[in-house]
Amino acid sequence: MVKRLPEALWQALPQLAALAFVAHLALAPIAETDLFFHLKIGDLILDRGAIPFRNLFSFTFPDHPDPDLAWGFQVAVALLHRLGGFPAIVLAKTLLVTTAAGLVLRACVRSGCGVLASSLALVVVALAAEPRMVERPHLVTLLGLGALLLLLAEVERGRRGLIWLAVPLTWLWANFHAGVFLGPLVLALYAAGALLDRPRRERPLVAGDTAIVLALAAASTLLTPAGARLPAYLLWHATLGATRSIDEFRAADPWNDPWFFLLATACLAALILGGRRTPWRRALPVLVIGILAWRSVRFVAEWAWIAMPWVADAGSRLAARLPARIALHRFATVAAAIALLGVIALQRRAGPTDPAPGLGLAEALVPALAIDFVTRTGLRDRMYADLDVGCYLLWEGWPRYRVFQDARLPAYPDDFHRALDETALAPAAWDALLLRHGVDAALLHHAGTNMRAGSFDPEEWALVLRDPETLVFARRTPAHERVIAEHEIPLQLRFTFLAGSSSEPITAPPPRSPVPPCAWHARLAAILDGEGDSERALDARARALAGGCLRPGEASEVHYRLGARLQIAGHLREAIVHYDRALALRPDHSRALANRGFARLPTDATGARADLTRALALDPTRADVRARLAGP
């Protein structure tokens, strides 16, 4: 039956399945907070008709230059959001990624690679690129690279005049993303490789034309509203940008980036097996940009796109050596397509039950409850927040509020970045940095792993909100006294790189806390009870008891529990003292009577029997008391 399939159908089936897999990976909720500052800038451009080019959104450096090189993307996402909200952006992202994948897949096929090999290569490439399938301007770079690879494939087929299309392609690309530098770079490496390839008559490029195209393409990268800002922006990323402690600047490693290393191994194997027949025009871009991707994972997706034709070509050569390759190829093509579609169906079925899965914002992308809290309580005006939260805060709150920082890293001075990364975790050093910028509140997301969780000294800062994901601190100022009085949490945070963040009870209010001691002890006891730490909760209540903070009923219960603790430890006389006090406040406390009776047995049998008899009368369910009274 496989042999009877029309030629066009078995050719299209694996390609459509591979593209469906790409769309499946891309159709995911928005988990990229950088989108928020792009949205805000896009809205400003639409409303004002001009690009700001300065850091409007920060109270730390509001006038610092912001080399905006993605205005086209920003306007596009702002228009999409106005049209259909976040779901429209997710759908557009999915379409953009799938189109880019379709272009590079078409480039492979037009270069003579087998359909099955190209489709399978796209699946691996998509898995390597998946972490970068997010709502950021580099998606346009993936589209630009796909178009450029298809253009070069057509040039190799003899349509040399098409190379001139690289110039308008680069110009359009430059207005959406700084990754446009990869266009002239790939073209230059391809041309250099073509000069090395033999024989001369098979070289796909004309040297003179290529030099002019390269010069014009490089010049067109500067024909944007950002002008000559691109070189400085790229240089920034090669210096300070590479030292900022941000995940996308890290080097690739096998644990976190297995698909990158799988692709790199495939490329290396193709180079070794190909030997002298390896075309340098394809190898040079893969090798050079592969080094860039290895040094910084932010380029892994782009490199995977560039490497795909080489991997597909190697797979095609390997398949051509298999016996009975035509029948096997067609059967494998259909089987692979069906298997891939099955994987998509299973993963989608195991995913969210929402009728429109993958649309909108990811769950818990930002700490919404904490943001609402700091807004309601007036803590937001000069508040420290991390990069990711800062992106959301500026989109949601500007111009009423400005942020401490956000992910537009070049929009802040180098010294600022160094200070944030190099300032010690010790509270004194961290507080000195925050004081320089007038910070009087702090919101920390990912509380369990945030290394700044322990950098806030309770003498100066009050913890006013704590949940599994978020911490909020308020500086002890007159302006925040009311908030602190209502919400201060009597805990001190600690942080270690081995264990993450942890909390310790603060047994007495710090000198500048407006919380009365009685309220302090009550809050601490309630927190410790909630954490299942009943012993330390009892200690807090004992301090409240000593301070005269408890009502008679509460005091009686605390005396009873203190007595029980002492009795378990074998301190019977001290235990009896607490039971006496408990019963003086509440004579019908059956558990205190029973415990006092058992505690008095060794020294006062008559008094013990009286206590046990009365306890049983008050609580007839006490089998232990009944058994004791029935005994000798």
3-state class (DSSP) for residue 65: strand
Could you report the per-residue pLDDT of 81-119, keeping only the tens digit for each? 999 999 999 999 999 999 999 999 999 999 888 888 898
438 torsion bin: left (phi>0), alpha (psi -120 to 50), beta (else)? left
Q: Is the pLDDT of residue 25 over 50?
A: yes
Q: Which of 122-126, 335-339, 559-563, 583-587 has the least mean pLDDT? A: 335-339
Average pLDDT over residues 370-378: 97
Residue 167 included in any domain: yes
Residue 161 included in any domain: yes
The structure tokens 């446009």 sit at 180
Q: Is the pLDDT of residue 552 over 60?
A: yes
Q: Is the pLDDT of residue 353 over 50?
A: no
Asked if residue 379 and residue 333 are part of one domain, the reply reads: no
Mean pLDDT, the chain, rounded, equals 89
The structure tokens 């160094």 sit at 418
Asked if residue 309 and residue 341 are part of one domain, the reply reads: yes
Residue 506 included in any domain: no
pLDDT bin (cut points 50, 70, 90) of residue 201 is low
- Compute the distance between CA of residue 368 and CA of residue 506 in angstroms, rounded to an integer: 28
- The secondary element (H helix, E strand) that includes residue 420 is helix 414-422
Asked if residue 212 and residue 108 are part of one domain, the reply reads: yes
Tokens standing for 342?
Answer: 């099955």
Of 437, 466, 501, the residue at which a domain comes to its end is: 501
Asked if residue 391 and residue 340 are part of one domain, the reply reads: no
Asked if residue 193 and residue 97 are part of one domain, the reply reads: yes
- The secondary element (H helix, E strand) that includes residue 465 is strand 461-466
Residue 205 included in any domain: yes
pLDDT bin (cut points 50, 70, 90) of residue 2 is very low
Asked if residue 331 and residue 409 are part of one domain, the reply reads: no
**Domains in the chain, number:** 3
CATH number, residue 607: 1.25.40.10
Residues 6+ apart with CB under 8 A from 554: 541
Average pLDDT over residues 141-158: 94
- The boundaries of the domain holding residue 610 are 551-630
Tokens standing for 617?
Answer: 């009368």
Q: Is the pLDDT of residue 156 over 60?
A: yes
**Largest interatomic CA distance in the chain:** 117
Q: Which of 15-19, 560-564, 578-582 has the least mean pLDDT? A: 15-19
The alpha carbon of 470 is separated from its chain's Cα centroid by a whole number of angstroms, namely 14
- Compute the distance between CA of residue 484 and CA of residue 496 in angstroms, rounded to an integer: 27
3-state class (DSSP) for residue 63: coil
What is the pLDDT, as a whole number, of residue 367?
Answer: 95
- Compute the distance between CA of residue 137 and CA of residue 35 in angstroms, rounded to an integer: 9
- Compute the distance between CA of residue 73 and CA of residue 79 in angstroms, rounded to an integer: 10
Which carries the bigger pLDDT value, residue 574 or residue 158? 574
Average pLDDT over residues 215-220: 94
Asked if residue 164 and residue 253 are part of one domain, the reply reads: yes
Residue 109 included in any domain: yes
pLDDT bin (cut points 50, 70, 90) of residue 12 is confident
Average pLDDT over residues 382-396: 96
Residue 120 included in any domain: yes
Q: Is the pLDDT of residue 349 over 70?
A: no
Residue 271 included in any domain: yes
Asked if residue 342 and residue 208 are part of one domain, the reply reads: yes
Q: Does residue 505 have a cis bond before it (omega within 30 degrees)? A: no
Quote the percentage of the chain above a pLDDT of 70.
89
- The secondary element (H helix, E strand) that includes residue 475 is strand 470-475
Residue 481 included in any domain: yes
Asked if residue 316 and residue 374 are part of one domain, the reply reads: no
Give the burial class of 408: count Cβ atoms within 10 A of its Cβ; 0-12 exposed, 13-18 middle, 19 or more buried. buried
Of 501, 517, 537, the residue at which a domain comes to its end is: 501
Residues 6+ apart with CB under 8 A from 610: 597
Could you report the per-residue pLDDT of 476-504, keeping only the tens digit for each? 999 999 999 999 999 999 999 998 999 99
Asked if residue 290 and residue 202 are part of one domain, the reply reads: yes
Could you report the per-residue pLDDT of 586-626, keeping only the tens digit for each? 999 999 999 999 999 999 999 999 999 999 999 999 999 99
Asked if residue 206 and residue 83 are part of one domain, the reply reads: yes
Of 297, 322, 350, the residue at which a domain comes to its end is: 350
Asked if residue 476 and residue 436 are part of one domain, the reply reads: yes
Residue of 453, 461, 300 lying closest to 379 (CA atoms): 461
Could you report the per-residue pLDDT of 295-315, keeping only the tens digit for each? 889 999 999 999 999 889 888
- Compute the distance between CA of residue 189 and CA of residue 170 in angstroms, rounded to an integer: 16
Could you report the per-residue pLDDT of 405-442, keeping only the tens digit for each? 999 999 999 899 999 988 999 999 999 999 999 999 99
In a 13 Å sphere around the CA of 556, the CA atoms on its Cβ side amount to 15
